Amino acid sequence: MPHQTILSPVARSAAAASAAAEATATIATPTGFRLTAHNQYNATRLDAAHLPRDPFPLFRLWLHEALRPTHGQTAVREPEAMTLSTVSSSGIPSSRVVLLKEIDDHGFLFFTNYESRKASELETGHAALSFYWREVSRQIRVVGIVEKVSPEESQAYFATRPRGSQIGAWASPQSRKVGEGEMERRVKEVGDKFADEVPCPPHWGGYRVVPVEIEFWAGRPSRIHDRFVYTRPDASSPWTVERRAP
């Protein structure tokens, strides 16, 4: 049988520490970014004197700058991607990335299957959103009240979707277990059924997150980040804003 060296407890401890140190020093992503590295941020400093009273104009400005950044920064590829966080009735949290489809004067709109897990958890009436734009060293955090958009709004947006996405909305029993090849069969059946126009399914539509808290975060050198948080007690009250420690 192959020879096996039995180390003393002290030697094993020293060897383990050495191996851990070596692993820490060499762990890297495929791009070579070391997980132990300290990324230095240098976003444009936020000035409290120039912040708007309402956070929506600032969000729109930041979204525009994510798409068309200045100071030689790289544009954010998909700034509308946002992490939607929900909580079940038993207090179990879950998160997933969805796409922001519209921001109006009331809140942030996205669309999904009303029979999905996220839809079930949105019945609590509250949700959180998070946008992280690494290229421009910014993130935005939103906490708000959830409301369904009108059927007319859902139908109007559904009509703009590509046909494949429309068929998928009918075919997918979202979050349910499916067998191998079942989705392909379902897609074909729906495509055959709706040879022309695909109507909006009754189990599909939009939600609006009406914010009561929005935080704007800008990464700054030495971790002295800028954080400004807008809050209001309810959707009809005026906003207040304050700087928070990083």
Q: How many CB atoms lie within 10 A of CB 112?
A: 20
Q: Which alpha helices (H) appear in 43-142, and where do they start and end?
A: 55-67, 117-122
What is the pLDDT, as a whole number, of residue 7? 39
Q: Tell me if 131 is assigned to some domain.
A: yes
- 171 with 95, same domain? no
Verify that 217 and 129 share a domain, yes or no. Answer: yes
Distance CA 225, CA 70 (A): 19
**Is the residue at 242 inside a domain?**
yes
Q: Are residues 143 and 230 in the same domain?
A: yes
Say what angle helices 163-171 and 182-193 make with each other, to 10 degrees.
Answer: 120
Provide the number of structural domains found in the chain.
2
Task: Report angle CA 177, 181, 187 to the nearest 5 degrees.
Answer: 90
Residues 170 and 138 in one domain: no
pLDDT in tens, 77-120: 999 999 999 999 999 999 999 999 999 999 999 999 999 999 99
> In this predicted structure, what is the pLDDT of residue 14?
46
33 is a domain residue: no
Amino acid at 195: A
Which tokens go with 242? Answer: 């304050």
DSSP state of 113: E
Residues 92 and 52 in one domain: yes
- 204 falls within a domain: no
Q: Are 116 and 175 in contact (CB under 8 A)?
A: yes
Q: For residue 171, which amino acid is it?
A: A
Catalytic residue among 134, 223, 243, 244: 223
Same domain? 174 vs 85: no
CATH of residue 146's domain is 2.30.110.10
pLDDT score, position 192? 95
Do 64 and 180 sit in the same domain of this protein?
no
Q: What is the mean pLDDT of residues 225-234?
A: 95
Are 43 and 218 in contact by the 8 Å Cβ rule? The answer is yes
User: Which one, of 138, 144, 88, 82, lies nearest residue 116 by Cα?
Assistant: 88
Cβ atoms 84, 142 nearer than 8 A: no
Same domain assignment for residues 66 and 92: yes
**pTM for the whole thing?**
0.80
Residue 134 appears among annotated catalytic residues: no
Give the pLDDT band of residue 12 (cuts 50, 70, 90). very low
Asked if 151 and 218 sit in the same domain, the reply is yes
In a domain, 2, yes or no: no
Both 108 and 180 in one domain: the answer is: no
Q: Are residues 117 and 215 in the same domain?
A: yes
**Angle at Cα 138 formed by Cα 134 and Cα 140, nearest 5°?**
115
User: Residue 27: inside a domain, yes or no?
Assistant: no
Radius of gyration for the chain, computed over Cα atoms and rounded to the nearest angstrom? 24
**Domain span holding position 118:** 39-155+209-246
Contacts of residue 87, Cβ cutoff 8 Å, sequence gap at least 6:
93, 94, 121, 124, 126
Q: What is the DSSP letter of 91?
A: S
Is residue 191 in some structural domain? yes
Residues 78 and 99 in one domain: yes
Q: Is residue 130 part of a domain?
A: yes
